[in-house]
Structure 1
Amino acid sequence: MVAKTSILKELETIYGKSGNQLYVLYGRTDSEKEQLLKAFLSDKKYFYYRCRQASGQEQRKQMETEIRQKFSANITKHSYDEFFNRIKSGDASKLVVVIDEFQLIAKKDASFMESIEKLRMKRLYPGPVLILLCSSSVAWVEQEMPATLGEQSKRIDGKIKINPLNFLEVVRAFPQYQVSDCIRTYGVIGGVAGYINHWDQRVDLKTNICRNILNRNGYMHRAAEQLIAAELRELSVYETILYYIASGYDKLNELHLKTGYSRAKISVYMKNLGTFHIVEKETSFETGGWENTKKGVYRIKDNYVNFWFRFVYPHLSELYMMSPEQFYDAYITSGIDDYLERYFKEVCMEYVGLLNLIGKLPMKISKMGTWIGKEGNIDIIAQNSVRENIVGYCNWNQPEFTMEMKEELLKSMKQAKIDAKYFFLFSAKGFSEEIRQLAEEDTRYILVDMNEL
C-alpha cells in the first residue's frame, strides 16, 4: 500500500503534542485517505465515524448506534454533545476522534461543529483528544469551508492536505521499474495513490493500461469521469471542453470556435475546473520577450484526466467493439510517446528543484518555470535572486540530443530575451558525440541522462 509517509509523520508529531488538537485532513478521491488513517490509528485508541449522505436526524441516529456499540454507552439525549460525552480511551492515552467526510454533517447541522469545539475545549471529554475532521472534497475544504463553518473555522489548528505523490515518490513505489517505466506510468496516472496501488510493476505499460483503464471492469475505467461528476454538474459541457483541450486547442478563442460555447461561459467553466485542480492556466516565466510569448494557454493538470480525454474519450465506441489490446494498438501506441513528452519535462523540472533543495546546483535558485513562445518553448528556466538563469531543454522522443536541439534552445532564448549562466540538457535516449564534446569543452553545459533522475 502506497501512502504519503510525510503525512503519517506529521500526524504522529501532532498526536505527540500535549493537550487537545483539531485538524482537517483532506485529499481527493483515491488519495487513499482511509488507508492512511488505518495505518495511523493502528496502535491508538480511537473512534472513527464515516458520515453518510443522510438527513441531519438520520446522521445522528447512525452515529449514536456506532457509539453505543463501540463504547457500550447508555445514551439518553440524541445530540452530538451527548455522543462526544460518551466516548473514552479507557486509560490515560490520547483518544483520536475521526469524523470522515465531515462536510456531509457540517453543511446541514450547525450543532455538530459547536459540539466539536466543546470537545476540543475539554467540556465534553476530560482526557486528551486529537480530533481529525476528514474530507475527500478538496474544493469544499479550500473554497467553501470557511463560509460554512464561520467563526468556528478559525478555531481549527491546521489543515493537512494529502497531495498526489511526486515523481521521486512514484519511483520509490515501483522499485522493479526502470526510470523510463516510471515516467511512462507517471504520465498516465500521475501520483494518485489509489491508482498506483492498482498498478502492477511486474508487467509493462500496455498491460496495465489494458487491465486498469481499457477493461470495462478495470479500477480506473471510469475514474476520470467520476472525478469530474463527484463535484460538478453539466458534465456534457465540462467533458466537451476537456476533450478539446486534450486535443491541443488550448486557448480561449480556439475553445470557443470548437465548442460553440461563448467565451464568457468557457471562462466560468474553466474557473470551476481550476478550483478542482483538473485544469490550470499555464503562465510563462516572466522574461523580456513578452511580445513573443504565447499567452492564455490552458492545459489539463490531472494526468489521468488528460490521458482519458486524449486517447479514450474520442474513441469510446471502438472501445466497446474491440478488445483492450486491439484498442491500445489502434489508438494509443502511435501517440503515447508524444503525449509523454510533457511529463518528461515535468520530471526534469522536479529534478532541478530537488538539486536546488539539497544544494547541488551550480547556483541557488529562487524561482522556476517554463517559457511558452509563439514559435518555440524553453522547457525550464530557473533563476536566482540576481536574475541569473539556468535553462533546460528536455529530449524525450529523439534517439539522441543533438546540436540542432541546442541551437533551437538558443533561438528560443533569443525570442524570450534571456541569457543563461548554465545549460541543463536532458535526454531520455542519449547524446550525440558533438554534444558530449561541447559539454567537455564548455562547463556551462551539463548533460543529464534519464537514468540519473
Structure 2
Amino acid sequence: MIVKTAELKRLEALYEQNGNQLVFLYGKKDSEKSNLMKEFIKDKRFFFYHARRASEKAQLAMMGDEIARQYGVHLQEQTYREYFKRVKSNGPSKLVIVIQEAHHIMKKDETFWEAIVELKERKLYPGPVMIILTSSSIVWAEQTVLAEHSKMKQAFSDVHKMTDWSFLDVVRAFPEMSVSDTVSLYGVLGGVPGYLSRWNRKKNFKQNICDLVLTEGGYLYEAAENIISAELRELAVYNTILSTIASGKDKLNDLYEETGFSRAKISVYMKNLAQFDIIEKQQSVETGGMDQAKKGVYRISDTFVNFWYRFVYPHLSDLQILSASDFYDKYIAKNLDAYLNRYFIEVCKEYLSLLNQMKRLPIDISKMGSWIGKNGNIDIIAKSTDRRMIVGLCNWEKLVMTVDMLEELKKTMALARVSADHIYLFSAKAFDPQLVQLAKEDATLELIDMREL
C-alpha cells in the first residue's frame, strides 16, 4: 500500500482542529483515496461507507443496513437524517465519517447533502465529528461541487484534489531502482499511486509492461480507455483525437485534416479532455522570438494515456495475435527512448526546482517552462524576476551529449532571442570529453549526469 505522507499529515492536522470539519477529497480513481482513508481511520472511531452506482432507494437501504449492523440499532426510518443521528464514537474522541464516492449519492438525492450540512452544524450528532466526502469524478467535482457560486463549496472546511506524485515521490517509493530505471517507470505510469503499487519490483521493466499493459486481464490493459469512458461519452471520437495527438499531429488544423471532424467539434471535445486532465495546451515561455514559436500545440498530459495511445492503441490487432513479449519488441522497444525524452525533461525541471528551493542555483527562479519553436525546441528556460535566465538541454536518447548539440541549442536560442546567463546540460548517459573540458573552462556551463540526479 502506497500512501503519500503529506496527504496523511494534511488530514491529521484537520482532525486535530477544534469543532467539526467537512472535507472534500477528490481525484482520479487510482489516486489511492481508499488507501489514504484506511491509513487515516485505522486508529480512530469511524463510520465508513462506499457509495455504489444505485438508485436512491437502494442506496438508502444499503447505508441503513451498514449503520444498523455497525451500531446495533433499529432505525425508525430510512433517511440520511435518521442515519446520522444514530452514529456515535462511544467516547469523547472525535468521530470520523467517510463517505467514499459520494457523487453516486449526491447526483441523485439532495436530502443526503442537507443531512451532511446538519451533521456538520451539530444538529444531528452532538459530539465532535470530521466528515470526509471523496469522489473519483473530477468533472463532477469541479463543475458542480466547486463551481464559482456553489453553496456546497462554501460549506466545506477543506477541499483537496489528489494529484499525481512527483518524480521525487516515485524515487522515494522505489529506493532500490536506479534513477534511469525510475525515469522509465515514471514515463509510462506517471505518478499514479494505484498504478505504481501494481509494479512488481522483482521483475524487469519489459516484464512489468507485458504483464500490466499488454496482457489481457492485466491491471492496465483497459485502463486508458476506461479513464476516458468513465465520464465522457462517444469514446470512438476521443480515441480518434487522442491517437492522432499521440502520433505527433498536435495542432487543431492537423486534427481537422487527419480526423475529418469539424473544427467546432474538435474544439468541444478538446475542451472536455482538458477539463478531465487528459490533454493540455502547450504554452512556450515568453521570449523576444515569439514569432518563431509554434502556437496552438496540444499534448496528452496523462502519462499512461499518452503511452497507451502512442504505442498500443494503433496496433491493437497485432496485440491480439502476437505474444506480449513480441509486441513489446516490435512496437515499444525501438521507440521507447525517443518517447521518454519528454519525461526526462520534466525530471530535469523538477531537479532545478529542488535546487532553487535549496538556494543552490545562481539565480532565483520565478518561472520555468519550455519553448516550442517552428525550427527547434528549448527544453528548459528558467527566469528570475530580475530577468536573468538559465537555459537547459536534456539528452535521454543519445549515447553521448556533444559540443555539436550545444551549438545546435545556441542556434535555437538565437531564433527564440534568448540570452542565457547559465546553461545546464543534462545527459542520461555520457558527455563528450570535449564538452567536459569546455565546462571546466566556462563557469556558466554546468553538466549534470545521472549520478548527480
- TM-score range for the pair, normalised by the shorter chain length: over 0.9
Letter of the 1:208 counterpart: N
Quick one: which amino acid aligns to residue 48 of structure 1?
A: F
* 8 A contact 2:424–2:446 mirrored in 1: yes
Task: Look up the match of 2:75.
Answer: 75
> In the alignment, what sits opposite 1:6?
6
Q: Give the aligned residue type for 1:234.
A: E
One-letter amino acid of the counterpart of residue 161, structure 2: K
Q: In structure 2, how many angstroms separate the alpha carbons of the residues matched to 1:281 and 1:198?
A: 30
- Distance (Å, rounded) in 2 between the aligned partners of 1:186 and 1:146: 30
Rounded to whole Å, the distance in 1 between the matches of 2:203 and 2:54 is: 43
Question: Is 1:20 the counterpart of 2:14 in the alignment?
Answer: no
Taking the aligned partners of 2:105 and 2:149, their CA distance within structure 1 comes to 11
- Kindly provide the amino acid, as one letter, of the partner of residue 26 in structure 1: Y
Residue aligning to 1:393:
393
Q: Which amino acid aligns with 1:337?
A: D
Matches within 5 A, 1:10-89: 10-89=10-89
Residues 1:254 and 2:251 aligned together: no
Aligned to 2:142: 142
2:415 is matched with which residue?
415
**Counterpart secondary structure, 1:67:** helix
Amino acid in structure 2 at the alignment position of 1:181: D
Q: Which runs of 4+ in 1 moved over 3 A?
A: 146-150
Residue 172 of structure 1 aligns with which residue?
A: 172
Per-residue deviation at 1:149?
Answer: 9.2
CA-to-aligned-CA distance 1:288-329 (integer Å, 9 cap, x gap): 101100111000001111111111111101111111011111
- Does residue 1:188 correspond to 2:188, yes or no? yes
Letter in 2 for 1:400: V
Secondary structure of the residue that 2:343 maps to in structure 1?
Answer: helix
Check the 8 A contact 1:73/1:86 in 2, yes or no. Answer: yes
What amino acid does structure 2 have at the position aligned with 1:206?
K
The 2-side partners of 1:383 and 1:72 are apart by 63
Letter in 1 for 2:309: F
> Could you say which residue in structure 1 is the equivalent of 2:430?
430
The 1-side partners of 2:200 and 2:416 are apart by 43
Question: Any residues of structure 2 matched to 1:1-400 within 5 Å, and which?
Answer: 1-146=1-146, 150-400=150-400
User: What is the CA–CA distance in structure 1 between the aligned matches of 2:26 and 2:146, rounded to whole Å?
Assistant: 15
3-state secondary structure, aligned to 2:48? strand
CA distance in 1: counterparts of 2:241 and 2:287, whole angstroms: 30
| 1:61–1:78 Cα contact (<8 Å) kept | yes
Using the alignment, how far apart are the partners of 1:424 and 1:2 within structure 2? 34
> What runs of 5+ residues in structure 2 fail to find an aligned partner?
none
* 1:425 Cα deviation from its structure 2 partner: 0.5
What's the CA shift for 1:152? 3.2
Distance in 1 (alpha carbons) for counterparts of 2:204 and 2:182: 10
Percentage identity across paired residues of the two chains: 52
Q: CA deviation at 1:381?
A: 0.5
Matched to 2:289, the amino acid is: G
Which whole-Å CA distance do the structure 1 matches of 2:424 and 2:414 have between them? 17
Deviates more, 1:174-183 or 1:149-158: 149-158
1:358-388 CA-partner distances (Å, limit 9, x unpaired) = 2111111101110000001110011000111
Q: Is the 8 A contact 1:107 1:148 kept in 2?
A: no
Deviations 1:30-60 (A, max 9, x none): 1111011101111010001111111212211
Q: Distance in 2 between matches of 1:413 and 1:153?
A: 46
* 1:400-440 deviation digits (Å, cap 9, x = unpaired): 11111111111111111111111111000111111111111
Q: Contact between 1:113 and 1:149, CA under 8 Å: does it hold in 2?
A: no
CA distance in 2, matches of 1:148, 1:234: 28
Tell me the TM-score normalized by structure 1.
0.98
Sort the Cα spacing of 1:294 and 1:51 in 2 relative to 1 into closer, same or farther, 3 A.
same
Contact 2:144–2:150 at 8 Å: present in 1 too? no
Counterpart contact for 1:403–1:435, Cα < 8 Å: yes
What letter corresponds to residue 175 of structure 2 in structure 1? P
Within 1, Cα distance between the matches of 2:95 and 2:359? 41
**What SS class does the counterpart of residue 336 from structure 1 fall into?**
helix
Letter in 1 for 2:224: A
Residue 348 of structure 2 aligns to a residue whose secondary structure is helix
Give aligned pairs, total. 453
SS in 1 for 2:446: strand
Give the partner amino acid of 1:405. M
| Superposition RMSD in Å | 1.2
Deviation at 1:74, TM superposition (A): 2.0
Residue 109 of structure 1 and its aligned partner are, at CA, apart by: 1.3
CA contact (8 A) 2:279 2:299 kept: yes
Q: Distance in 2 between matches of 1:148 and 1:30?
A: 27
Aligned residues of 2:282 and 2:296 also touching (Cα < 8 A): yes
Answer yes or no: is the 8 Å Cα contact 2:213–2:220 preserved in 1: yes
Q: What amino acid does structure 1 have at the position aligned with 2:152?
A: Q
Gaps of 5+ in 1: none
